């Protein structure tokens, strides 16, 4: 492969990086100012069955004073030594090594082999491929919580998108977004449905009839949105919102399918080795549903499997020596260093909120305010609490154990059924995963393809409006019918 076509020459758009840094600085100032305006307070917490739980009636205001300004800017470094430091480190490593993995898959021919195999089979019916891929991805998110693992599917989806005449946003729309959408309308997902329902004292499968309807409605809303956008840019490529950044991103992928590569036995062997490690990730994900200890280390295990698969697969093609593989990995890491630095800074935002001791104060005022409310208003307060807490507590499981023991009895007091409270919690916990700048996968994927947050939201704006309408109608319906067994 000629050097000019190598991913090694790819560089993240400088304007995009600078724009992100300025945006983050503005948000730092706003969050920091909030620590001066909102009183500091804290709930006592205890550990029950291995999970942290807020103790009711334990809130107290603190007299320690607001967070010093200089600590706004040390927050990213403090995050690296906080209780969530392992998660932050894995996110940054994931971003860095994904660049190296992409270079190896490109220069070994593995990526071209995989994309060609899929495209030659389904390319003539590419919109059928779009609809099927979207359905499969949504089912993965809705049933087995494949959210963090979706990164392994993004490179193939991007390659297929480019080969089909679409752009990188459609590539994300075939992989990350449908998994996130499926995650947000979970049906039997053990983490977003099973655990919250158990905490609320509900049968695990209660209310599933509505969740199944939501899954179908969400699929129709989403697939029509994605299809409309794909047809629009296919008819007029200049209408793509990422036309400028895609000029560089397309360097990572072949311009078209190459049938000849399917006859290369060594490349086929390398591709099969890489896909074997991808299969191991799927198996590990299924196993983590039944073995809780495995779910806590899912991201580092996935990263190790991806690195191993690319190294062993790349070596098997015979196109890269051991030295070439290491050099390719190093070159790729340097490519994704700028977005990794941006992600490092974003992590500091959560730390400012935690260090400023304002989140518990917000919860305290909200919990007090919900008493005596109309259930039609209270249900949206539950939604808002969950979405606010998502900013600092990303884990669905941790968040459920933290606030549902308080939200359920408070909601019941104003006429909300436990099933309705859980549904509002699920909406607040899940949809934000696709749109919050602090979301793990949003940081990783938007950074790698060089898409600014402004473009991210501009592309998804119409989808967000559809989601808001669905959530509002669903929650009002739940309150009206007294959704659930209780």
What is the DSSP track for 159-189?
HHHHHTT--HHHHHHTTHHHHHHHHHT-SS-
Using pLDDT thresholds of 50, 70 and 90, give the confidence band for residue 420: very high
Query: H-type helices in 68-202, by residue range?
Result: 70-79, 85-108, 110-122, 126-143, 154-163, 168-173, 176-184, 195-199
Digit-coded pLDDT (tens) for 56-65: 788 899 987 8
Looking at the predicted structure, is the pLDDT value of residue 4 above 50? Answer: no
Residues in contact with 224: Cβ distance below 8 Å, sequence separation at least 6, in sequence order: none
Mean pLDDT of 417-423: 94
Position 31 scores a pLDDT of 85
Cα separation, 242 vs 251, in Å, equals 14
What percent of the chain has a predicted confidence (pLDDT) above 90?
24
Cα separation, 10 vs 3, in Å, equals 11
Cα separation, 14 vs 20, in Å, equals 10
What percent of the chain has a predicted confidence (pLDDT) above 70?
88
Opening angle at CA 314, ends 312 and 318, nearest 5: 110
Looking at the predicted structure, is the pLDDT value of residue 1 above 50? Answer: no
CB 84 within 8 A of CB 128: no
- Out of 118-122, 316-320, 430-434, 446-450, least confident range: 446-450
Position 3 scores a pLDDT of 39
Handedness of CA 45, 204, 390, 344 (dihedral sign): positive
Looking at the predicted structure, is the pLDDT value of residue 8 above 70? Answer: no
Opening angle at CA 408, ends 404 and 409, nearest 5: 130
H or E element: which one contains 277? helix 265-290
- Out of 167-171, 242-246, 444-448, least confident range: 444-448
Residues in contact with 122: Cβ distance below 8 Å, sequence separation at least 6, in sequence order: 128, 129
pTM: 0.75
Position 51 scores a pLDDT of 63
Digit-coded pLDDT (tens) for 305-364: 889 999 999 999 999 898 999 998 888 888 778 777 777 887 787 788 888 888 888 888
CB 310 within 8 A of CB 78: no
Position 409 scores a pLDDT of 82
Residues in contact with 117: Cβ distance below 8 Å, sequence separation at least 6, in sequence order: 262, 271
Of 118, 132, 131, give the one whose Cα is nearest residue 162.
Answer: 118
DSSP reduced 3-state for 416: coil
Instruction: Write out the two tokens for 305.
Output: 């499997």
Alpha-carbon distance values, 190 to 49, 142, 359 (Å): 17, 10, 27
């Amino acid at each position: 492969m000629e050097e000019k076509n190598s991913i090694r020459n790819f560089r993240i758009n400088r304007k995009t990086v600078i724009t992100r840094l300025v945006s983050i600085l503005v948000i730092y100032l706003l969050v920091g100012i909030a620590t001066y305006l909102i009183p500091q307070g804290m709930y006592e917490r205890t550990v029950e069955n291995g999970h942290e739980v807020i103790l009711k009636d334990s809130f107290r205001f603190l007299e320690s004073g607001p967070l010093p300004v200089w600590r706004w800017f040390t927050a990213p470094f403090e995050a690296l030594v906080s209780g969530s430091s392992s998660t932050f480190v894995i996110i940054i490593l994931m971003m860095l090594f994904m660049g190296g993995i992409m270079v190896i898959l490109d220069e070994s021919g593995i990526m071209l082999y995989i994309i060609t195999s899929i495209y030659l089979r389904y390319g003539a019916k590419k919109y059928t491929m779009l609809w099927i891929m979207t359905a499969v991805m949504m089912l993965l998110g809705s049933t087995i919580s494949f959210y963090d693992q979706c990164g392994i599917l993004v490179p193939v989806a991007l390659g297929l998108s480019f080969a089909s005449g679409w752009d990188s946003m459609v590539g994300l729309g075939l992989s990350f977004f449908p998994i996130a959408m499926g995650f947000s309308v979970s049906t039997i997902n053990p983490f977003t449905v099973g655990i919250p329902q158990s905490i609320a004292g509900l049968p695990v499968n209660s209310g599933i009839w509505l969740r199944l309807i939501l899954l179908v409605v969400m699929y129709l809303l989403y697939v029509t949105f994605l299809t409309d956008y794909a047809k629009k840019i296919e008819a007029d490529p200049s209408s793509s919102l990422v036309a400028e950044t895609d000029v560089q991103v397309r360097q990572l992928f072949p311009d078209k399918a190459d049938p000849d590569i399917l006859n290369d036995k060594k490349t086929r062997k390398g591709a099969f080795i890489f896909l074997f490690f991808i299969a191991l990730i799927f198996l590990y994900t299924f196993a983590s549903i039944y073995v809780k200890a495995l779910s806590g280390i899912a991201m580092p295990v996935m990263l190790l499997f991806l690195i191993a698969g690319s190294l062993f697969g790349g070596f098997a093609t015979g196109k890269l020596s051991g030295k070439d593989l290491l050099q390719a990995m190093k070159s790729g890491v340097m490519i994704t260093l700028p977005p990794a630095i941006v992600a490092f800074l974003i992590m500091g935002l959560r730390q400012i909120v935690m260090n400023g001791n304002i989140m518990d104060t917000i919860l305290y005022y909200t919990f007090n305010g919900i008493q005596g409310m109309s259930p039609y208003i209270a249900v949206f307060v539950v939604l808002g609490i969950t979405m606010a807490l998502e900013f600092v507590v990303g884990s669905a499981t941790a968040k459920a154990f933290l606030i549902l023991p308080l939200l359920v009895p408070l909601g019941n007091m104003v006429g909300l059924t436990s099933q309705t409270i859980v549904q509002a919690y699920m909406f607040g916990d899940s949809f934000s995963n696709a749109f919050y700048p602090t979301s793990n996968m949003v940081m990783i994927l938007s950074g790698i393809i060089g898409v600014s947050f402004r473009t991210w939201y501009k592309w998804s704006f119409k989808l967000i409006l559809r989601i808001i309408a669905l959530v509002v109608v669903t929650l009002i319906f739940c309150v009206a019918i007294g959704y659930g067994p209780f």
